[in-house]
Chains A and B, each alone.
Chain A
Amino acid sequence: MALYSEKVMDHFTNPRNVGVIEDADGVGEVGNAKCGDIMKIYLKIRDGIIVDVKFHTFGCGSAIASSSMATELIKGKPLSEALELTNKAVAEALDGLPAYKMHCSVLAEEAIRAAIKNYYDRNGIPYDKAQFPDPADEDEHHHGDGEE
């Protein structure tokens, strides 16, 4: 199917890091079922490094592929680097997403931020609130209008 790149299809049909971390240090969930996509990311963190990451996603092929790619990109990386991951980088690593699917990569970026924020909150680690804008709420959760 020419809808997606080979890389998207690979990450969709053989997703990396699927699952749950029972004793996760940080968990982030974004999206909503009404809009048709939810991502949940689990992080295991040691000395500021993401030593393990797992995800569960409800959504279309590109949502699952974006989750898979995003987890690959942050695994083994320091939190500071994970926080710099942009949706654009996720989409590029997948050899591109159709314009109306870019919101899937946005969700992946937001899910990682939410999981890191959750880790900070749990451990009372101070952070710059500006780094964690509220994930787009339902009204602002828009699909396919130039989030590149």
Chain B
Amino acid sequence: MEKVIYLDNAATTAMSDGAIAAMQPYFKGLYGNPSSLHTVGQRAKEELEGFRARIARRLNCDAGEVYFTSGGSEADNQAIRSAAILGSRKGKKHIVTTAFEHHAVLHTLKKLEKEGFEVTYLDVHSNGLVTAEEVKTVLRPDTALVTVMFANNEVGTIQPIAEIGAVCRAAGVVFHTDAVQAAGHVPVDVRAQNIDMLSLSAHKFKGPKGVGVLYCKKGLPLLTFVEGGAQERGKRAGTENLAGIAGMAEALDEAVENMPASSQKIAALRDRLIDGLLKIPHSRLNGDRQSRLPGNVNMCFEGIEGESLLLLLDAKGICASSGSACTSGSLDPSHVLLALGLPHEVAHGSLRLTLSDETTKEDIDYVLKCVPEVVGYLRSISPVWEDLETGKRQHLI
């Protein structure tokens, strides 16, 4: 294949050169186990605590509030289970969330429901946003936890996290946010945004895969996630992934430093892409246009199915993603698009394009040439499109 235009940065990113370089010393020279008492081990320990402090500074918390994990899913699982179980010991068995969280959150909550917890799933409306007021109205004396994602992984909408956090704090309810798509892309400040627990994952901001962070506010009790050692203040046993943590610290530093310039540049390309794609008849932008990640574009095109669109774009060198059922092997289309109220037949025709600071105007213009061609072709062989055009079926978008 010739040039590949990678527009699936919400799935994962290429690592930055700086992050790759930052990892190198820890494979051989500084390979010590931070738990060892000798010089080599203690040197590794110093490095580890240095990275913890750097990451804490970027989140505006104390180093003692940062727990290293294997990634976002683990952090989500542990934050939610811990807050739920500790809450239930005080008779609190109610949890508030939204209908379109990541499955790392939703599946954890489903399991808790089976264990007797009650979960309120807030409507995210057609724009993919909840309000702090809506959270407030469903809080109860027995609410143990509110978990609302910072930014949605499919449609990129950014929730009013600081306001939701303030509502929770006033009510004395623990507030967790899955910030996997947000960290390194939009400002995250756990103090200013009233966040008690936060999950992030390094590979979403040009760090390595397999490493992430759970931030947990000081004073908030946390259950042990992994038994077997004193690492992470006894909460998560296992020798630390020092190279991964080094890469994550470097990648987060770079992402935060570059954010003002890169987010502006990426958002401009995003807007060019959205405006161009909306010229396709019977297309729709999914998720609020304003409160949106700088790199996220998510569209539906009526009369076609997302997987075939994805594969034909791949054949043209464009790597995209789809919320379509056929990419996941399940019957239903994306739960995120259904939560936005889209009918099944429309949600099947979705396309997600997620940009990075390496995306160029030429890339966007190439995509804007290819997508209408492919959509037009798939519509030309679609009996659904034929019915829409002949009036046998009503256009929904």
A residues apposed to B, CB below 8 Å: 1, 9, 12-13, 15, 18, 20, 29, 33-40, 56-64, 98, 100-101, 142-144
Contacts and interface: CB of A to CB of B under 8 A. Distances in A.
A13 B324 CA distance: 19
Contacts of B166: none
B260 interface: no
A105 B157 CA distance: 38
A40 B383 CA distance: 7
A33 B326 contact: no
Interface string B133-163: 0000000000000000000000000000000
Nearest to A36: B348
Contacts of A62: 326
Contacts of A60: 305-308, 324, 326
Given A33-B344, A34-B344, A36-B325, A61 B308 contact: yes
Given A1-B311, A36-B305, A36-B324, A56 B333 contact: no
A57 B381 contact: yes
What does DSSP make chain A's interface, helix, strand, loop or mixed?
A: mixed
B329 interface: yes
Nearest to A40: B383
Contacts of B304: 58
A12 B311 contact: yes
A34 B344 CA distance: 5
Contact of A61 (B303, B307, B343): B307
A13 B312 contact: yes
Contacts of A142: 331
B381 A56 contact: yes
Nearest to B311: A61
Contact of A56 (B311, B386, B393): B386
B315 interface: yes
B344 A100 contact: no
Contact of B305 (A15, A18, A37, A56): A37
Given A36-B333, A61-B308, A56 B383 contact: yes
Contact of B345 (A9, A20, A34): A34
B131 interface: no
In the complex, the 10 A-B pairs of residues with the closest C-beta atoms, listed nearest first: A60-B326, A33-B345, A60-B307, A100-B329, A40-B383, A58-B384, A58-B382, A36-B348, A34-B344, A56-B383
Nearest to A37: B305
B284 to A, nearest CB: 16
A121 B277 CA distance: 45
A62 B310 CA distance: 13
B232 to A, nearest CB: 38
Contacts of B315: 13
Contacts of B117: none
A20 B383 CA distance: 10
A40 B384 CA distance: 10
A1 B319 CA distance: 11
A57 B331 contact: no
| Most A Cβ at <10 Å: residue of B312, B314, B329, B381 | B381
Contacts of B307: 60-61
Given A33-B348, A36-B305, A143 B330 contact: yes
B225 interface: no
B239 to A, nearest CB: 34
A39 B330 CA distance: 19
A58 B331 contact: no
Interface string B289-315: 000000000000001111110011011
B385 interface: yes
Contact of B384 (A12, A13, A33, A143): A33
B383 A57 contact: yes
Given A58-B305, A143-B331, A38 B383 contact: yes
Nearest to A67: B381
8 contacts: A1-B311, A34-B344, A56-B386, A58-B384, A63-B305, A98-B329, A142-B331, A143-B329
A110 B326 CA distance: 20
Nearest to B329: A100
B331 A35 contact: yes
A59 B305 contact: yes
Contacts of A64: 308, 381
B390 to A, nearest CB: 11
Nearest to B303: A58
Given A13-B312, A33-B348, A58-B303, A18 B381 contact: yes
Contacts of B305: 36-37, 58-60, 63
A61 B311 CA distance: 7
Given A33-B345, A34-B344, A57-B383, 19 more contacts: A12-B311, A13-B311, A15-B381, A33-B384, A36-B305, A38-B383, A38-B384, A57-B381, A58-B382, A58-B383, A59-B308, A60-B307, A60-B308, A61-B307, A61-B311, A62-B326, A63-B305, A142-B331, A143-B331
